[in-house]
Chain A
Amino acid sequence: MLGAAGCVVQDERPMAPVVAQKATAEIPAAELLDVGVRMFDPNIPQDVAEQEKRRIYPDVRKAESRYMPVLLRDTLESTGQWGQVRVLPAENSGSDVNIGARIIESDGSVLKLAVTVTDATGRTWLRKDYEALADTRAYKDVPVKPRDPFDNVYATIANDLLAARNELTREQRVQVHQVANLRFASELAPYAFRPYLAHDAKRDTYAIARLPAEDDPVVQRMDRVHERDYALIDTLNEHYTNFGESIDDAYGNWRKYSHEELAAEDEAKRKAMARGLLGAAAIIGGVVAGQNTNSSAGSAAATAAVIGGIYAFKSGLDMRSEIKMHGESLKQLGSSFQNEVQPSVVDIEGRTLELKGSAEQQYAEWRRLLRELYENETGLPATTAEVTQPAAGKR
């Protein structure tokens, strides 16, 4: 593993932007690694009471699990440090470098992600938590679209990814790309390609046993199939991009107002606690003073202290109703945005399934043709059992 830790991207708000480090020199094609950003794990508790307690709105989380990978993809693309950067369906692990993330917390004020990055050889690059407070400048009403309030998280991940890549030798990078290609091929035609891969089942790592000949007819057709797989993923990416753009304004508003309500709620809680304590102190002080004095002035003082304490208590109670009001507002905001985004979530889920389902028929045909070709070219039966039949775009 190249890195494992927790990372808190925590700053004053508004905060200094973290800049994703850009490439300053051209990277040789053989060393350019493709990156797959899988749909994030929305991390929605099954228990509805738990969802309410943690203010998790399932459709909002589902939307975020598709929206955030697009932002991370765009950040990585902007650096020029990588080959193709694609958002992948959740179960996909077919890129040279694969990024997975679980949304731990996201409410407009805080974003916390548990990120894991592995490469095609099974090497773990990163396993790290990223947490940041919102950059409040993103919530200002300005004519130009501001940075995402959590841009620093994505830029930090990009920089960590780059640092992890830079720890690899040139040979290791080239091998990562070769292993990714062979894993794709061996899943579609294991009888032909599995012998080229050395798989350590215990550690779940892959290495190259030997490389196939470039003029092998099966290899050449496999390359053409691979191009279609990329085309499918690219088309899905267009859907994800469209989805992100379609919810951008509404999601931005939800985060902004949620952030404001949470800040107001925190403030009300702080005041309620302070006043409650103050009231208690005054009442106790007043009662004690009343018991220990015989003078009229002392008695008045004690009475005043008790009254003051009661007022402070009452004030604390008033604050509690305000806290409750903020809680209700947050609930309304979440429900409102959830209702707004739900059709888009259903739509993108449906389209993804439809597209993959449609492509699956083609993949089944290609598997059959590859088998026929292999048997025709070698004169051998394609006997290696196909342990899994990967779905279209899954690999």
Chain B
Amino acid sequence: MTAEDKRAEIDRRFDETFAVFDERMRKEQETISQERAGREGSAGGSGGEGAAGDDTEGGGGANGDGSGGETKEAAGEGSDTGAGASGTGGEGGQGGDVAAGSGTQGGGGGVGGGAKGGGGPRDVPADIPDGRDDDIVARQLREAAMKETDPELRERLWEEYRKYKQSTQ
């Protein structure tokens, strides 16, 4: 066999293996394209899911248990049960302004203006004086009450503040 013949023989085997390889890649890419088309089809079919933005979509969305809905309902009562939801409620359970919430997340609800909780943490009840003559104890009670987001605890702190202010007058 001459060198020319040998080169032709090698080229023939190159061509054969290239053809096998190319066919393998072609089939693989075909499979990938089909998978992509299938996924895009199914994605299109389920489009709009979650767009309603209703209460049940919140924190539970991540866990698939729909528990975010409970968070929102509880929020209307100024309860702290937002913490009990398994999702992402954050502070959404407090404050109770359902309308202010994003409607898409348990944690979206505002912390101000609860239906029952007596206002947000920075709100001062109407009967509380302006605090200009507060001593250090009164000031600490006032600040603790103003920062408190738990409505029940906040009210008790204000009550302590009232008692203390009366005792010092």
Contacts and interface: CB of A to CB of B under 8 A. Distances in A.
B144 interface: yes
A282 interface: yes
Interface in A21-67: none
A372 B10 contact: yes
Interface string A322-344: 10011001001100110000000
Contact of A336 (B62, B144, B153, B167): B62
Interface string A271-298: 1001100110110011001000000110
A141 B88 contact: no
B12 to A, nearest CB: 10
B74 interface: no
B39 A245 contact: yes
B87 A257 contact: yes
A264 interface: yes
A246 B17 contact: no
A264 B91 contact: yes
Contacts of A169: none
Contacts of A302: 137
A308 B144 contact: yes
State the majority secondary structure of interface residues on A. helix
B25 to A, nearest CB: 5
Interface size class of B (residues with CB under 8 A): 35 or more
A383 interface: no
Contact of A285 (B33, B136, B150, B160): B136
A296 B167 CA distance: 8
A42 B105 CA distance: 30
B122 interface: no
Interface string B8-28: 001101100110111011001
Contacts of A325: 83-84
B107 interface: yes
A300 B164 contact: yes
B148 interface: yes
B42 to A, nearest CB: 11
Instruction: From A246, A257, A286, A289, name the one whose CB has the most chain B CB atoms within 10 angstroms.
Output: A257
A141 B107 CA distance: 14
B137 A239 contact: no
A90 interface: no
B63 A336 contact: yes
A239 B36 CA distance: 10
B101 interface: no
Contact of B62 (A221, A253, A296, A309): A253
A301 interface: yes
Contact of A332 (B18, B53, B63): B63
B132 interface: no
24 contacts: A235-B28, A257-B87, A261-B90, A264-B91, A278-B140, A282-B144, A300-B167, A301-B135, A304-B161, A304-B167, A308-B144, A311-B144, A311-B157, A312-B157, A332-B86, A333-B62, A358-B24, A362-B20, A366-B17, A369-B14, A369-B17, A372-B10, A373-B10, A377-B3
Given A221-B11, A253-B62, A336-B62, 9 more contacts: A143-B51, A238-B28, A242-B35, A257-B62, A296-B167, A332-B63, A359-B21, A369-B13, A373-B10
